Chain A
Amino acid sequence: MHTLRLVNRTERLLDLLTYLLNAHEPVSWQEIKNHFPEDYAQGVEESNQRKFERDKAELISLGIPIDYFSGSDHQKEGYIIDKNKLFLPEIEFTPQESSLLMLSAGAVQENQTFPYADQLESALHKIISIHGNFHLPAPPQDLKIQAGKSKGPQSRSRWVRQIQDALERRKTLEIQYYAFSTGKTTRRKVDPYGLTFRRGSWALVGWDHLRKAIRNFVLTRIRNLKVNPRRPGTPDYEVPQDFDLSKHQHAQDWQLRLHKPIEVTIRLSTHRLPELAPQLPGARRLDEETFRLQVTNKDGLLRWVLSQKTDVVVLEPASMRREIKQRLGGLL
């Protein structure tokens, strides 16, 4: 009777999964064809095989470990699911842990620019289905994490997910990038190495084919983006062994690498010390109020210094002191 079954792909994949899952020994290609004649035994053998390979790849992408066993004295060859690796292990959370999990998950789900937001939902579903009930505790009422901007252009950076996909498959991107510093839009090829997130916005770190260097690209300044569509299953590049993404994340603007490092000495006023000193990562403390910084973005430092009014004073270099006077002179 099964020759009359009309199947769609979802059903076929689930049947194939059920078949392999319940099989006591490896299943040969011939057996699969015998059991799924309309699906894999029509017309040309080669296209049947390709169809099966596509289906198998889809199942593997769902997390189903399908292996090919090449046969031994005791067992015949064929496809098999490793049941030890198939299922999620038991996991139990205390109410407190669940509530923290919901707090952090909420921060990701609330923000449309986050990569993996959909996958987070399916991961949580999996946890819920072994965890006992749907009513995982709500996040603690007196805590809230808001990761992204809810308003403004930052909330509309739509490229994160495409970049994440390219990162996973190591595919080259072609982007049109609007550089604020030049006011020009250029077309560039970039091999994505990673994404950084800071104060609600995303940046792409990658190898810029044009400049032949690792560059950062602010996502909201990307006007257009295309993932190389050719040979989707084959990586286009390798990320260098010594690449360290954390070095491309900076805590303060003056750490952005725009020029060679310059040494800057600053003095903080006493009453602001407890608040400002912790904001100087990597600084060397010369005495109670004096700090030496390595600055790779002079402009970023000057903006911070000026925003502190008279509470932060640049002591050295003299050229920077002159520049502060010039800048302020322009206001008066």
Chain B
Amino acid sequence: MNITERINRILFIMSYVSQHQGVPLEELAKAVGMRPRQLEKELDFMLLIGKPPFRPDDYVDIYVDEDDQRVYIDFDQMLNRPLRFTRPEAMAMLLSLELLDPQVDPEAVQSLKDKIQQVIGSSVDPTARLQDQIVMESPAVSEHFEQLRQATEQSRKIEIDYYALIRDQTSRRVVRPYLMTKHLGYWYLTGYCETRQDVRTFKFERILDVRMRDETFRPPPDLAPFKDAFLDFGPRRFEIYFDQAWANWILEEWGDLVRYEGDGVVLTLTSETPEFPTRLALSYAPHARPVSPKELVEAVHKEAQRIMDLYQDEDGLCS
């Protein structure tokens, strides 16, 4: 911990205890990420802080009451309120708010942003604009965002038209929406699909239509186990070879799922169907080659042929 962080922590302790006399030692320790013993030592150190001419009441007096194990402060020497934001702190707040899409809750998000802006404005000069230094992507937000948010919040069933990429088809489903996740810039809805009778994850941009139902449902008491549901891609393994031209990119994108082979790399994907691996192999043609299983090899060849058929007229023109 450097000196800045330590001073910040000390000032936090001072201001917090000043505003909340008698906060339990344990609770304060937890909030500053220290063990109670460590915190007590830090409080002892704080007794040395004072102002000239350093008479007894010129020092900070902060202590743990032995009877109730609570922290009190008698002399705070005016260090009783948090300091204004530093520029990096202001940037930190702006950056985190940047990840929050307004659509999540239009009113609350806006008023939260306004309040933070106001505090920042009074802390650092208004030229501290995050967008001058850091730009985050703005995700393509679905026009159905509000409906989906409402349904999730109110535990109401919805009927959706969903284009399932892994089956390359659109179908109508009844879903009990459990939670919404934003992952790498994309929003997903995880819920129980009554049609498939299983928990499924739906990418927002493929939800083509939403109809609210009047029926409500009781959501599972703990949603934590579902939070990574969208990372579960299915049980089957598919292998694609990429030659030297793209090996580095594939490695960077897929990391642990890639192994070296010859001059190139082999990517092993898991999925329910060959649909996604097929699309990936096609997009890197001719530098990608489906390896296994046979079903993938056949699918890639078939689709490549179908796409080429769309461009046949070119031959007609040329000849």
Contact = CB atoms under 8 A, between A and B. Distances in A.
| A and B found bound together | yes
Contacts of A118: 5
Contacts of B219: 142
Interface stretch (B64-72, B251-259, B264-272): B251-259
Which interface class (under 10, 10 to 19, 20 to 34, 35 or more) fits A? 35 or more
A225 interface: no
A122 interface: yes
A327 B56 CA distance: 83
A141 B31 CA distance: 22
Interface string A294-332: 000000001110111110010000100110111111111
Interface string A70-110: 00000000000000011111010110110011011101100
Dominant SS at the A interface? helix
A19 B285 contact: no
A230 interface: no
Given A2-B52, A58-B4, A306-B285, A119 B92 contact: yes
A21 interface: yes
Given A141-B179, A194-B135, A328-B285, A87 B97 contact: no
B256 A331 contact: no
Contacts of B97: 101, 104
A105 to B, nearest CB: 5
Nearest to A272: B163
B181 A144 contact: yes
Interface residues of B, number: 121
A116 interface: yes
Contacts of A64: 83
Contact of A199 (B10, B31, B170, B185): B185
A171 to B, nearest CB: 14
A89 B119 contact: yes
A196 to B, nearest CB: 5
A2 B184 CA distance: 57
B171 to A, nearest CB: 12
Nearest to A94: B108
A235 interface: no
A199 to B, nearest CB: 5
Contact of B86 (A62, A143, A198): A62
A119 B91 contact: yes
A35 B30 CA distance: 37
B273 interface: no
B8 A122 contact: yes
Contacts of B15: 126, 129-130
A168 B130 CA distance: 11
A194 B119 contact: no
B16 interface: yes
Given A104-B100, A198-B185, A318-B314, A303 B284 contact: yes
Interface of B: 3-12, 15-16, 19-20, 27, 30-32, 45, 48-54, 60, 77-79, 81-93, 95-100, 104-105, 108-109, 111-112, 115-116, 118-119, 122-123, 131-138, 140, 152-153, 163, 168, 170, 178-185, 205-206, 208-209, 219, 223, 227, 248-249, 251-256, 278-286, 288-289, 300-301, 303-308, 310-311, 314, 317
Interface of A: 1-2, 5, 7, 9-11, 13-15, 17-19, 21-22, 34-36, 58, 61-64, 85-89, 91, 93-94, 96-97, 100-101, 103-105, 107-108, 114-120, 122-123, 125-130, 133-134, 141-149, 151-154, 164, 167-168, 180, 183, 194-200, 218, 220-221, 239, 245-246, 248-249, 251, 271-272, 274-275, 278-279, 281, 302-304, 306-310, 313, 318, 321-322, 324-332
13 contacts: A10-B45, A35-B52, A104-B96, A116-B91, A122-B5, A126-B15, A152-B255, A196-B135, A198-B185, A251-B137, A325-B308, A328-B282, A328-B308
